[in-house]
Every structure is written in structure tokens, then in C-alpha cells.
Amino acid sequence: MLSMITDISNPLLDYLKDDPVRPDIPREFRIAKNRFVIASGDEKPSAMVCVSLHDFVPANVEDLASDTESPTTAIFYTIWSYAPGAGVRLLFDTVTKIRELWPTVTRFVTLSPKTEMARKFHIRNGAIIFRENELTINYEYKIN
């Protein structure tokens, strides 16, 4: 089951402490007009992903703070799992959910750290390198 978290008091947000990519981002930043968290599972998540919706591809975390009225691009800026394979399942389930809720979103891009682990995860799961930024890499998933 997917839980789309848009309420800052949701107890699933307590698991943000386990974010291995961007643990310094506060929950208040992650839950906003075009930002939310999705968790798979019920009381204890098997995986979590943080998403920001935009009409451009951000190059850094600060870019995620801007809002748009007509998002065209979903940005996955951190993902982690507690079970093997749960992260990739959550990623593709989240794409399906976003397409249902925001039909204007046609691009699915990451804002990933420049690590070998991130590269292997995204390339293995069908992404291509869209752009390399100073501190991040944008991987894009071509979803039909």
C-alpha cells in the first residue's frame, strides 16, 4: 500500500531520520505545496521517497523550494528502503500515482548525489544521465 504524506504530523515522517541521502532536510521542507513523501507499507514502511513537482529540472536542493502552478516534471530527490527491491518498486508505483494525480507531469527525473551507489541504482533500473551538475546528477526515467 502507498501512503502519500502531505501532513507534517504524519507519524511515518519519523522515518525521515533514516534518510541516507539527505538527512539534513527538515520535514517542514519535504511537505509543502508541490513537495511530499510517499511510503510503501502501513505502520512501518518498506521504502520511502521524497518528491518535488516542477516545470523545470533542478540542479540543486535549493531549486526544490520554488513552486509552480502547472508541474510537468517529478523530481525524486531521495529514496531509501528497508527491504531488498522495495525501493525500485516504490519508485515505479510512485510514477503511476503521480500520473494519476497530475496528468501534466510527463518527466520523471532524480536529483541524485554523485555516488557510485546512486549511479548503479538508477542505471540498473532504466534511467539515463540527463545532466551532471556541480554537486548532483539528474537521472531521467523514460516512462511510456
Fold category of 2-141 in CATH: Aminopeptidase (3.40.630)
Q: What phi and psi, each to the nearest 5 degrees, are found at residue 85? A: 80, -10
d(CA 95, CA 107): 10
Look-up: residue for cell 516545470?
55
Predicted pLDDT at 143: 81
d(CA 60, CA 77): 9
CA distances from 97 to 23, 40, 100, 103, 119 (A): 25, 12, 5, 10, 24
CA distances from 142 to 11, 22, 94 (A): 33, 25, 14
Return averaged pLDDT per consecutive 10 residues of the chain, 144 residues in all. Answer: 95 96 95 96 92 97 93 97 95 96 97 96 95 97 84
Predicted pLDDT at 54: 97
